[in-house]
Structure 1
Amino acid sequence: MIGTMAINKNDSRSFLTEKHLLFKQSIREFLDKEAVPFYDQWEKEGGIPRSFWKKIGDNGFLCPWLDAEFGGVGADFGYSVVLAEEFEMVGSALRGISIHSDVVAPYIASFGTMDQKQRYLPKFITGEMITAFAMAEPGMDSEFANIQTTAIKKDGYYIVNGAKTFITNGFKADFMIVACKTDLDAVPSHDGISLLLIDKDTPGFTRGRKLEKAGQDSSDTAELFFDDAPVPIGNLLGEEGRGLSYIMQKLQQERLMCAIGSLMATKDMLHLTVNYIKGQKAFGKKISEYKKSQFTIAEIATDIQLGRTFVDGLICKHINGENIITEVSMAKYWITEMSKRISEKCMQLHDRYGNTGDDKIARRHRDIPLTTLYTGSDENVKTLIAENIGF
């Protein structure tokens, strides 16, 4: 079973109903059968197979929040939280599925034309189409406005030139939203950024190498290149020049999803560590009986509970439509940094066993640091926080 953790049917989290808990049980049973037994192999092979995406879609676990006219069931954000947490309990590489469902798809749903929605969203739900959001670039600093990929209008097309890197789902993506500069002379510069919908078969589009990272080996992360790639003007998402505005509108949910996943990874590390030290001895005494071990576990559990209380409050506010980008950015920054500290403590309690590289605890230790890079660097996140509190 996932982390061998039981479902708490009396979960007191205010945004979860009995229906959410039944849904949680359903996705957990599915993952126990279709993901957990194969995850180690996916890590060795460096990718999650398309067949798994199709199975997720067939079982209704992709974009359930979408309206029925596009194949969804109009589910509330609580279902996205449940999915993100259960995916994370299997492994961090499954975050690419949440990015597909709860980062990329909302852009189309919110800013797309009816033609764009009908063309793409039904295929997002079935898993027929894997998606990516392409913003980060080689050498790009922490400012979203400093995008160098260009898209210049010519003969009914945007001619796209540039490169993107660290793109989750990028190697398998059938479709991507690409942030480009459409007005090189715009002042301020961020007024010249637009979002384009680009299909994988676009001439001039190529993928670079699948990036090897320090963790999350089965996460599909790639470089993307555009060399005079013609994109129909009809593939503009929303209005020209409003790309950065759209990104900022969706950043709240993206960073909240990151915080949710990181918190769940940390919770799993605590669970693995407690189970381990209860069964191991040092100098004729169980590791769990040493005061130092007890104190460390108490510190970890306290940090996680504080993070859980903070994040659950933000989830409720997000569901209510409140603007909490500052608080969500705080959660993303603090929880991803906290998870790294806790990871180190858990590895110490595992001693040499945790460093063999063969156990889930070692995988967690490798995977967790990468989450600090999601949705913008720490510098980017802290800059936004400082600006929003008037500093």
Structure 2
Amino acid sequence: MQNAPWMNPELETLRDSARRFYEAELLPHEERWAQQQCVDRDVWYKAAEAGLLCVGIPEEYGGGGGNFLHEAVIFAEQGRMLCPGLGNSLHSGIVAHYIHNFASEQQKQEWLPKMAKGELVGGLAITEPGAGSDVQSIRTAARKEGGDYVINGAKTYITNGSTANLICVVVKTDPNLGAKGISIIVVETDKVEGFRRGRTLSKVGLHSQDTAELFFDDVRVPQANLLGNVEGQGFKQLMKELSRERVITAFMSMACMERAIEETLKFAADRKVFGQTLLSMQNTRFKLAECETKLTLAKAMLSHCSASLLEGQLSSEIAAMAKWWITDACGQVVDECVQLHGGAGFMLEYPIARLYQNVRIHRILAGTNEIMKEVIARELEKRAV
């Protein structure tokens, strides 16, 4: 993240520490993990020992006591390094914050220190076979029975799905109330019956990252595991935390843009075409100038989003703008860089080809970019009234 406006010596030290961990503990295993479609369970403990889990959670709950930028540089560097298997951006950047922001004090004391140690791996179960970005269409339901909720339903495309043992499950507690009938219930999978993991899913990219189907068949969970203590708060909780998730996704896209440009500069400086380097040709120079401009604009936008988020002032429409524009720009930059590599750009031995595989999902994660535009348009509509 060269010349990023938010970087300072402390964040640079953290980024470099994270990079060394990725080089030592993730990159050497990427090929094997891609074959098994998930990382080894013990790497979560190693990440904890390296201080990379829950860095944005207060120290009183076992976290690192940092802020959003401490998390962002760790997650962005992992994306840039092309070692996506460890689903830490979800575990630490999203699930831990659901717990910290909405769980009871007792639950925070119980769950967050274990997440920081890697004993609990976090998951977030929203998407269903018939409901993706349209959260209000979910069908997984939870009914009260005695002192428990009984959960029935299925989830799919769940990051950390094969490994997670603490899952925030989005359910309908009252199917008749639409968005106001949605709640989030925390399921500790090691303590329940009726929970099943389905297939680990094969993907276009992010091959080492664990993505799975989950099934809930009369899964009984204590009513105390309801986030927020009041039913029907789930949609509001999702909307609040999705802004963070969208900025995290944008940070990772920004880092991947940066890596794509770095790789293409090196390739173009060495590659000879018609007796001259590819980098000396005007088309190459202009294309890379366009790519660098998009990267610079992305950094400026993320600087604004980060400052707003740290002040608690980040609006959902600004987060949506950052998410769709930066992930779109990332797709454009990586595609241009593949083209500049020529045939080599289609070969997986080159980092640019793996970037091409990995970044496509960014335009879908955390709500599709079409949904982002709808979020923005609704705010515009309010101004027209």
Deviations 1:77-134 (A, max 9, x none): 2211211121112226257211100100001101101121122101110111111100
1:338 Cα deviation from its structure 2 partner:
1.5
Q: Distance in 1 between matches of 2:85 and 2:313?
A: 28
Residue 244, structure 1, aligned to residue 235, structure 2: yes
1:196 Cα deviation from its structure 2 partner:
0.4
Aligned to 1:208, what secondary structure does the other structure show? strand
Q: For residue 269 of structure 2, what is the aligned residue in structure 1?
A: 278
Count of matched residue positions in the alignment of Structure 1 and Structure 2: 380
Q: Could you tell me which of 46, 49, 60 is aligned with 1:55?
A: 46
Q: Distance in 2 between matches of 1:303 and 1:92?
A: 24
1:141 Cα deviation from its structure 2 partner:
4.9
Q: 1:174 to 1:389 in 2, by over 3 A?
A: same
Q: Distance in 2 between matches of 1:324 and 1:130?
A: 29
Q: Could you tell me which of 175, 184, 198 is aligned with 1:184?
A: 175
Q: Could you tell me which of 188, 203, 226 is aligned with 1:199?
A: 188
Q: Could you tell me which of 281, 294, 298 is aligned with 1:303?
A: 294
Contact 1:46 1:219 in 2 (8 A): yes
Q: Distance in 2 between matches of 1:178 and 1:147?
A: 11
Give the letter aligned to residue 192 of structure 1: G
Q: For residue 248 of structure 2, what is the aligned residue in structure 1?
A: 257
Contact 2:63 2:112 in 1 (8 A): no
Note the 1:281-292 alignment, pairs <5 A. Answer: 281-292=272-283
Give the letter aligned to residue 48 of structure 1: V
Q: For residue 235 of structure 1, what is the aligned residue in structure 2?
A: 225
1:68 Cα deviation from its structure 2 partner:
2.1
Q: Distance in 2 between matches of 1:375 and 1:302?
A: 25
Q: Could you tell me which of 338, 359, 373 is aligned with 2:364?
A: 373
Q: For residue 154 of structure 1, what is the aligned residue in structure 2?
A: 145
Give the letter aligned to residue 180 of structure 2: D
Give the letter aligned to residue 206 of structure 2: Q
Contact 1:147 1:180 in 2 (8 A): yes
Give the letter aligned to residue 220 of structure 2: P
Contact 1:272 1:361 in 2 (8 A): yes
Give the letter aligned to residue 374 of structure 1: L
Residue 102, structure 1, aligned to residue 93, structure 2: yes
Q: Distance in 2 between matches of 1:52 and 1:95?
A: 8
1:367 Cα deviation from its structure 2 partner:
1.1
**Percent identity of equivalent pairs:** 33
Contact 1:63 1:102 in 2 (8 A): yes
Q: CA RMSD in A?
A: 1.6
Q: Where does structure 1 lack aligned partners over 5 or more consecutive residues? A: 1-6
TM-score normalised to the size of structure 1? 0.93
Give the letter aligned to residue 187 of structure 2: I
Contact 2:27 2:83 in 1 (8 A): no
Q: For residue 210 of structure 1, what is the aligned residue in structure 2?
A: 200
Q: For residue 129 of structure 1, what is the aligned residue in structure 2?
A: 120
Contact 2:323 2:369 in 1 (8 A): no
Give the letter aligned to residue 284 of structure 1: G
1:350 Cα deviation from its structure 2 partner:
0.7
Deviations 1:257-285 (A, max 9, x none): 01000111111111111111111112222
Contact 2:85 2:207 in 1 (8 A): no
Q: Could you tell me which of 50, 66, 74 is aligned with 2:65?
A: 74
Residue 325, structure 1, aligned to residue 305, structure 2: no
Q: Where does structure 2 lack aligned partners over 5 or more consecutive residues? A: none
The range that moved more, 23-32 or 348-357, is 23-32
Deviations 1:324-373 (A, max 9, x none): 22111011111111111122211111111111222221111111111111
Q: Distance in 2 between matches of 1:12 and 1:196?
A: 38
Contact 2:85 2:210 in 1 (8 A): no
Give the letter aligned to residue 326 of structure 1: E
